Amino acid sequence: MRTVGIMLFACSLACGAATVQARELREGDKYMCSWGAGTAARAQELKLSGVSLYAARQKIQTIKFNKPWMHMMAMGITEQTYDSRSRLKPEAIRQSFYQECLRYRVARK
């Protein structure tokens, strides 16, 4: 019985810590992760449809970005996506990228 109580207490502490960490994440972090996830999904879509990395880079060059960091990050995400052997659907890439990005941002805090 005592072991169950200790386990429940430890679990509640862990859940509370995760909630606090989630609150520490800024809106800008969530925006960046969401934007990056969309970029990765678009790159995967282009890759799966047979568009070359060169053509994908050219498409990025024509986009007008809102923030100065977006252009270089879009290029990096696209190159990493093309370098990957993954054949996952773009939506799976979007979800995976977003979750990993949030996990990374929380761990950095």
**What pLDDT, on the 0 to 100 scale, is given for residue 3?**
38
Question: Bigger pLDDT: 98 or 108?
Answer: 98
**What pLDDT, on the 0 to 100 scale, is given for residue 109?**
77
| Cα-based distances in Å from 20 to 26, 29, 49, 100, 109 | 12, 15, 42, 18, 11
pTM of full prediction above 0.85: no
**What pLDDT, on the 0 to 100 scale, is given for residue 5?**
37
**What pLDDT, on the 0 to 100 scale, is given for residue 14?**
42
pLDDT exceeds 50 at position 27: yes
Which residue from 20, 21, 10, 16 is spatially nearest to 103, judged by alpha carbons?
21
pLDDT exceeds 90 at position 17: no
